[in-house]
Amino acid sequence: MYPEEYHYTKDHEWIKVENDEVVVGITDFAQKQLGDVVYVELPQVGAVFEFHQSLGVIESVKAVSDIYSPLSGEVIAINEELDGSPEMVNEDPHGKGWIIRLKLRDETEIEKLMSVSDYERFLEGLED
């Protein structure tokens, strides 16, 4: 279910490391909790975010939630297709439903994130 090579946050974002860049999305658990996503508000390319700063907003039929930056860095690409097809976040959260691509500022921050087994344990511990 959750890709082995990804890293995860307690806010249910995933990151995929590609050299000094990372792709960021929300996890399958997050998209299920949100329900049908109807709009994703993305930041501008070039914007710089600190760790845990709100970088965008996901709107679903149930709720409006912040997307938190899992690491600090600069936005080098956004998934523009989400503008017309927000349902990709539901359909393929770990792939085509990616949200942004960040240029990493501090690689050691990755170590603070959860591995897939940690994340799965974290999910089991979540009550209701």
Partner 1 sequence: MIREPLIFEISDEGKRAYALPKLDIPEKKDVLQDVRTRKDIEGFPQVSEIEIVRHFTRLSQTNFCIDIGFYPLGSCTMKYNPKINEKIASFPGFSHSHPFSPEELVQGNLEILKTTEELLSEITGMDAFTLQPSAGAQGELVGMMLIRAYLEEKGDPRKIVLIPDSAHGTNPSSAHLSGYRVQEIKSNEQGTVDVEDLVRAMNDDVAALMITNPNTLGIFESDIKKICAIVHEKSGFVYMDGANMNALLGECRPGDMDVDVIHLNLHKTFSTPHGGGGPGSGPVGVKKVLDPYLPIPVIERRKDSSLYFNLDRPKSIGRVQSFYGNFLVVVKALAYILSLGPNGLKEVAEIAVLNANYLRKSLEGEYHLKYKTPTLHECVFSDKFQKEHGVQNIDIAKRLIDFGVHPPTMSFPLIVHGALMIEPTETESKKDLDLFIEAMKRISKEAQENPEVLKEAPHTSYMRRLDETKAARESVLRWRPEEKEAPQNKE
Instruction: Summarize as ranges the residues that interact with partner 1 (CB under 8 A).
Output: 33, 36, 38-39, 59, 61-65, 84, 86-87, 128
We find the least distance from the C-beta atom of residue 93 to partner 1, in angstroms, to be: 16
Residue 86 or 93: the one with the smaller Cβ distance to partner 1 is 86
DSSP string, 27-63: -HHHHHHH-SEEEEE---TT-EE-TT-EEEEEEESS-
We find the least distance from the C-beta atom of residue 120 to partner 1, in angstroms, to be: 19
Paired tokens of 59: 């709107």
Q: How far apart are CA 22 and CA 29, in angstroms?
A: 20
Residue 1 or 61: the one with the smaller Cβ distance to partner 1 is 61
